[in-house]
Amino acid sequence: MTALLEVNNLHIAFRKEKSFIPTVEGVSFHVNSRETVGIVGESGCGKSVTSLAIMGLLPRGISRIDYGEILFEGQNLVGLSSEEYRKIRGREISMIFQEPMTSLNPVFTIGDQLMEMVLEHTAQPKKQAFKHSVEMLEKVGIPRAEEIMHDYPHQLSGGMRQRVMIAMALSLNPKLLIADEPTTALDVTIQAQILELMQQIKNDFDTSVIMITHDLGVVAEVCDRVVVMYAGKVVEQGDVKAIFKNPRHPYTIGLLQSVPSLTEERDQLYSIRGSVPLPENMPAGCRFASRCDHAKPECFEHEPPEVQIEGDHTTSCWLYR
Amino acid sequence: MTEPLLEVENLKKYFPIKKGLFRRTRGYVKAVDDVSFQLEEGETLGLVGESGCGKSTTGRTILQLLRPTSGRVLYRGQDLTGLNFQQLRPIRREMQMIFQDPYSSLNSRMTIRNILLEPMKIHGLYTKKEREERVEELLELVGLDRGVADRYPHEFSGGQRQRIGIARALTFQPRLIIADEPVSALDVSVQAQVLNLLQELQETFKLTYLFIAHDLSVVKHFSTRVGVMYLGRLVEIADKRRLYQSPRHPYTQALLSAVPVPDPEIKRERIVLSGDVPNPKNPPEGCAFHTRCPECMEICRVERPPMIEVEPGQFTACHLYS
């Protein structure tokens, strides 16, 4: 089976003053069809940048892809012209963002924005686009869908706006949906509604999902496989059960232990000492070495190779060499 | 029994909605609507709820940063609500606040030293030399190198800034600290560092915390007792273990079941609430939660449920138990 999306050895750099500083270095992972892959990591680890690269939305001029390929159904997306990309975005791959208020245009109605998507990409008449948009709103569980079509974004609550974004992202039935922290700005009870909706949509629309999040609870709940990123690199990836039950990389282990638990009690939380190195100041060797309890001399000198643990569970760490 | 450190009695904070040419008051947002609880010395009371439930306003009203509409706030037996600015000042040394956003709560044009010196200058305490010593002491307490005092806030990471905010709150050896979402802007690994620091400080200085947060797992880890708020009202308050193991109020039950658990093998029965939190401008009659409650009864629509003790130490405001 070939993967729907394959990211191979992706390198992305951002400009700082006169030089380009690598922010994503050698990221590889794949997404099979109908699969939900979670990308987890802390702020600045490169998870959002990676997803913007897949969407072809890296800011021009200040960022560039130095190396690597992004294969979507076998076609390399790196280097596509904006014309070509426009045919893929929305139709084949679409994206929802963290803050639904800033990703909707405040001066157009919900209907205008939903229909624009359909009218841009298909040859449907306006009437039909309207009907289709109303249907989409109903599918994502919005009551009074026809009335809402005439509302402006500020008239809706955060949870409703995120539903509108999901309706928009799915209205052309894309094969891949990238969700960048889709529930982070929402309250827990609303988060539960949206996660439930995303599960249901995945089944109804046969969509693959890349879920970018820092919330390990969300990952455990919705993902099939997990990619853990740290300081611009993938440190571990594998099946969701393998990652949570048998994490191997000291960073993954530390991350899982530092989350307070609802089900068990601990006197003190485990905390990873120190902080993430800055991109312009990346140490040689393993990037996690200075915070790692198991670091050996070689960790500070040479980059760890990717080691296979079992099946597609891999980690980049000298401990398992 | 000893006197509680803080008693909040029937606290209300209404914000007027002014409209029209003459800015006439056309109604009120009832941000805090009749909230009562007590805080014993040395304990940590967690206050949880979703955005707009009034938990932050409660914290600010206790400190008199916002003046309450009615109700009493007794700090060691003294009512703060009637005191003027001058009278409050010495008391404020004993009650401090830590804010959510370490980026906006530190003045970006001041060095860390000046940020930490300012409260001492304002309160006119200590000699110059003592102040300088105190700054270094404070930095050490929160695990920062004393050499960083002459740097500016932008040179620090989020976690380090939060440590500076904590150091500032500790200046006058307070007894009560109101922490308003102190870790929600931080990454998980840093969040753990800051929570551990707050815990150590509590043990060292016998601090009492009112810990305001929306993350239920963090609150469970950190608190001894937990209060749950919904639309300006306290709906349930109990010992931590009791609240998490046998929540009584349907809202608490739904809230707890909605938290995603970081374990892919646990598939829980989840209570998904329909709809959104109603607008606090126009809260529902009777029980504020009745519009979303899966167990709503006739009486819930008309009569506001009183707080009842359902188990020793567990109070809930729900008609199911009256």
Identity of the residue in A157, A214, A268 whose CB atom sits nearest the CB atom of B276? A157
Domain assignment present for B52 = yes
Alpha-carbon span B265 to A262, nearest angstrom: 15
Going by their DSSP bridges, the two strands B6-19 and B70-75 should be labelled as antiparallel
pLDDT of residue B306: 94
pLDDT of residue A273: 86
Residues A179 and A95: beta-carbon distance below 8 Å: yes
Domain assignment present for B162 = no
**Residues 242-271 (A) with a CB less than 8 A from some CB of B:** 244-245, 254-256, 258-263, 265-266, 268-271
Q: Do B195 and A259 touch (CB under 8 A)?
A: no
Q: Mind telling me how many Å the CA of A157 is from chain B's nearest CA?
A: 8
Q: Mind telling me how many Å the CA of A38 is from chain B's nearest CA?
A: 13
pLDDT string in tens for chain B (322-residue length):
578 999 999 999 999 988 887 888 888 889 999 999 999 999 999 999 988 889 999 999 999 999 999 999 999 999 999 899 999 999 999 999 998 877 788 999 999 999 999 999 999 888 999 999 999 999 999 999 888 899 999 988 888 999 999 999 999 999 999 999 998 888 888 899 999 999 999 999 999 999 999 889 999 999 999 999 999 999 999 999 999 999 999 999 999 998 888 888 877 778 888 877 888 888 888 999 999 999 999 999 999 999 999 999 999 999 999 8
Q: Do B261 and A195 touch (CB under 8 A)?
A: no
Q: What is the pTM of this model?
A: 0.87
DSSP A68: E
Domain assignment present for B207 = yes
**Residues 153-182 (B) with a CB less than 8 A from some CB of A:** 157, 159-160
Best probe of the A interface among B263, B277, B279, by most A CBs < 10 A, is: B263
Domain assignment present for B63 = yes
Q: With an 8 Å Cβ cutoff, is A281 touching chain B?
A: no
Domain assignment present for B166 = no
Q: Tell me how long chain A is.
A: 321
Domain count, chain B: 1
Domain assignment present for B292 = yes
Q: Do A220 and B262 touch (CB under 8 A)?
A: yes
| Tens-place pLDDT, residues A154-173 | 888 888 888 899 999 999 99
- B-chain residues within 8 Å CB-CB of A242? none
Q: Do B217 and A262 touch (CB under 8 A)?
A: yes
Contacts of B88 (CB under 8 A, 6+ apart): B64, B80
Q: Do A195 and B260 touch (CB under 8 A)?
A: yes
Element housing A275 (H / E): none
**Residues 160-189 (A) with a CB less than 8 A from some CB of B:** 160, 187-189
Q: Mind telling me how many Å the CA of B321 is from chain A's nearest CA?
A: 24
The amino acid occupying position B233 is R
Chain A residue nearest residue B194, CA to CA: A271
| Domain ranges, residue B43 | 6-94+172-316
Q: With an 8 Å Cβ cutoff, is B127 touching chain A?
A: no
Residue B192: CA atoms inside 13 Å, Cβ hemisphere, count? 20
| Tens-place pLDDT, residues A136-148 | 998 888 888 899 9
Q: With an 8 Å Cβ cutoff, is A216 touching chain B?
A: yes
- B-chain residues within 8 Å CB-CB of A270? 192
Distances (CA, A) of B50 to A5, A191, B231, B233: 37, 11, 9, 12
Closest CA relative to residue B35, chosen from B60, B16, B1, B4:
B60
Domain assignment present for B212 = yes
Q: With an 8 Å Cβ cutoff, is A144 touching chain B?
A: no
Distances (CA, A) of A299 to A37, A236, A249: 29, 16, 13
Identity of the residue in B187, B195, B199 whose CB atom sits nearest the CB atom of A42? B187
Average of per-residue pLDDT across A227-232: 95
3-class state of residue A89 by DSSP = strand
Q: With an 8 Å Cβ cutoff, is A200 touching chain B?
A: no
Q: With an 8 Å Cβ cutoff, is B141 touching chain A?
A: no
Alpha-carbon span B150 to B113, nearest angstrom: 6
Token pair, residue B184, equals: 């929600």
Q: Mind telling me how many Å the CA of B193 is from chain A's nearest CA?
A: 5
Q: Tell me how long chain B is.
A: 322
Report residue A208's pLDDT band, with 50, 70 and 90 as the boundaries: very high
Identity of the residue in A196, A217, A269 whose CB atom sits nearest the CB atom of B261? A217
Q: With an 8 Å Cβ cutoff, is A274 touching chain B?
A: no
pLDDT of residue A1: 57
Distances (CA, A) of A216 to A40, A41, A181, A189, A251: 8, 9, 12, 17, 13
Q: With an 8 Å Cβ cutoff, is B46 touching chain A?
A: no
Token pair, residue B105, equals: 């709560």
Does ipTM exceed 0.85?
A: no
DSSP A238-265: EEHHHHHHS--SHHHHHHHHTS--SSS-
User: Any idea what the CATH number is for the domain that residue B75 is in?
Assistant: 3.40.50.300
pLDDT of residue A277: 85
Helix boundaries (H) for A153-278: 158-170, 188-205, 216-222, 240-245, 250-257
Residues B153 and B116: beta-carbon distance below 8 Å: no
Best probe of the B interface among A161, A200, A221, by most B CBs < 10 A, is: A221
Alpha-carbon span B120 to A211, nearest angstrom: 48
Chain B residue nearest residue A159, CA to CA: B276
Chain A residue nearest residue B221, CA to CA: A260
How many interface pairs between A and B have CB atoms less than 8 angstroms apart? 128
Token pair, residue B242, equals: 């009791």
Beta strands in chain A (DSSP E): 5-16, 19-31, 36-40, 63-72, 75-76, 93-96, 176-180, 208-213, 225-230, 233-239, 306-310, 313-316
Residues A91 and A174: beta-carbon distance below 8 Å: yes
Domain assignment present for B69 = yes
CB neighbours of residue B2 within 10 Å: 6
Q: Do B196 and A259 touch (CB under 8 A)?
A: no
Q: Do A271 and B189 touch (CB under 8 A)?
A: yes
